[in-house]
Amino acid sequence: MESIQILEECQNPTSDEVLSWSQNFDKMMKAPAGRNLFREFLRTEYSEENLLFWLACEDLKKEQNKKVIEEKARMIYEDYISILSPKEVSLDSRVREVINRNLLDPNPHMYEDAQLQIYTLMHRDSFPRFLNSQIYKSFVESTASSTSES
């Protein structure tokens, strides 16, 4: 799980790819460089935990070993769902109830409703501000100038 805490390794995106992120949140979220840049922005808004939670859920979905699933599910709960966590994500009570029931028998997809809720929150709330941020605008400029130089 610790590997999620560091930035993802990725290739430098093209100028066109970076510009396409402004039109498509899903495309940006599929690109490691896009996620890294978005994460940098979320950190400035003190909401980085939303992306970290989403990434942890993606990681859990790939898992097949029951013991590891139980461990990762518990860690996600402690890190992002528990009201005692400093990185608690904002979820409605219905989703919290579903998670609490699923904790009795964890599975790789037990956080899907919560993950969708956080994904939607990032898309509707944080993403428009990200596109207007200096972080994104500077990155667009730097990829445009490095593309024109090569």
- The burial of 61, by beta-carbon neighbours within 10 Å (0-12 exposed, 13-18 middle, 19 or more buried), is given as middle
Is a pLDDT exceeding 70 seen at residue 149?
no
In the chain, where the domains are located: 13-149
Looking at 25-92, list the stretches that DSSP marks H as alpha helix, in order from N- to C-terminal side.
25-30, 32-44, 48-61, 66-76
* Distance (Å, whole) CA 18 – CA 20: 5
Name the band, by pLDDT with cuts 50, 70 and 90, for residue 11: confident
User: In this predicted structure, what is the pLDDT of residue 144?
Assistant: 85
User: In this predicted structure, what is the pLDDT of residue 75?
Assistant: 98
Name the band, by pLDDT with cuts 50, 70 and 90, for residue 66: very high
| CATH class name, domain 13-149 | mainly alpha
Angle at 50 between CA 89 and CA 86, to 5 degrees: 45
Across 133-141, average pLDDT: 96
Across 81-100, average pLDDT: 96
Across 41-62, average pLDDT: 98
Write the pLDDT tens digit of every residue in 54-63.
999 999 999 9
Is a pLDDT exceeding 50 seen at residue 37?
yes
